[in-house]
Amino acid sequence: MCRWWRWRRLRRGRGTPRPRARYYQQKERGFESERFQCLPLHIAAAVALATIAAACGGDGGSSRPLATSPWNPPEPIPVTTGEYTPVISGLSPADIQRPLGFEQIAGNQANGIRIFRSFEDYRQYMDWCNFDPQDTRWSDLLKFQWLPPGTEAITPQSAVLCPGGALSVVSVDFEAGLSELSVTFWAGRRALLTEDEVVGLFAGTISGRSAIVAVGVPDGFPHTQVVIATDKGSIDVDTRFAPLEDVLAFAGGIGCHDC
C-alpha cells in the first residue's frame, strides 16, 4: 500500500511489511532506537484529530521535523465512532461492476494518469527527486470529509521533502474494522501501479477531478486502488477489505490545500 513503507520500498526494493507489523517486528528484535520509539499518546491523538479536520489549510510539510519516523503508538487512535463490518469475502471477478459514470479502460494511460504493471518502471518514475524517507515532517495537507465508522488512525499524517526542500510525498494510514485505507499525495507525479491481478480498470471523475480506479479480488477479498489527478500531482488511495462503493465515497471526500 502507498505509505511510508512504500517510500522505503521505492528506495530499496520490494516487499516490506505494513507499518504496524514492522513496528512490532522491530520491537521484538530489540531495535528500539529513537526512530521506533512510540509517540506520546497526547501528541499522537492531536495528530489524528488534525488529520480529519474539515477545513483545508497548511502548506503540506511543516517546518518542524518529526522526532521519530511516522510510526504510530502501539494502540491506534480512534477518529470515528461505531463499528465497520462490511460483507467483503468470497468475491469473484464477476462481482466487480463498473462504477456509475466510469468507463472500462485498457492500455498504459488514462485521464492523464500513467498505468504501470512493472514495479521497476514505476519506481523509476515515482522517485523523481531522490527523497530521503527518514527526513519526515508533520503535515496537514490532506483533509477527509468522510471516514467509515470505527476508523482509527494508524500513522500520523506526515510529509517527505526533496533535498532542496520541495514537497515530495504526504501519507497517512487508517484502519476501520478489518479494512485498510492508505492515502498518499505524490507531488509532480500521476501514476498507478497494478501489481495484483486487476479485474476492473475504470476511468472517470471523482469530485470533479479526473481519476482511475483499479479493482482486484486476491483470494476473494477486494483490493481497490484510486488515483485522483490534482493540479500539482495526484492523490493515491489504496484500500483492502473495503467495498468499492465505500472506497469511492472515501476518495470523493478527500481534500487538500494547494495540491
pLDDT digits (tens, 9 = 90+) for 106-132: 889 999 999 998 888 898 888 777 777
The predicted model scores a pTM of 0.76
Residue 9's φ and ψ, nearest 5 degrees, are: -65, -40
| Cα dist from 143 to 55, 171, 183, 235, whole Å | 7, 11, 10, 12
Q: Pairing relation of β-strands 191-193 and 167-176?
A: unpaired
Q: pLDDT confidence of 250, banded at 50, 70, 90?
A: very high
pLDDT, one tens digit per residue, over 155-196 is 889 999 888 888 889 999 999 999 999 999 999 999 999 876
Q: Pairing relation of β-strands 113-116 and 191-193?
A: parallel
SS (H, E, C) 110-151: ECCEEEECCHHHHHHHHCCCCCCCCCEEECCCEEECCCCCCE
pLDDT at 246: 95
Residue 5 has pLDDT above 70, yes or no: no
Tell me the domain boundaries of the chain.
4-256
Residue 87 has pLDDT above 50, yes or no: yes
Q: pLDDT confidence of 74, banded at 50, 70, 90?
A: low
Kindly report the average pLDDT of the chain as a whole number. Answer: 76
pLDDT at 90: 84
Alpha-carbon distance of 157 to 136, in angstroms, equals: 10
Secondary structure element (H or E) that encloses residue 251, with its range: helix 244-252
Q: pLDDT confidence of 56, banded at 50, 70, 90?
A: very low
Q: pLDDT confidence of 135, banded at 50, 70, 90?
A: confident
Q: pLDDT confidence of 197, banded at 50, 70, 90?
A: confident
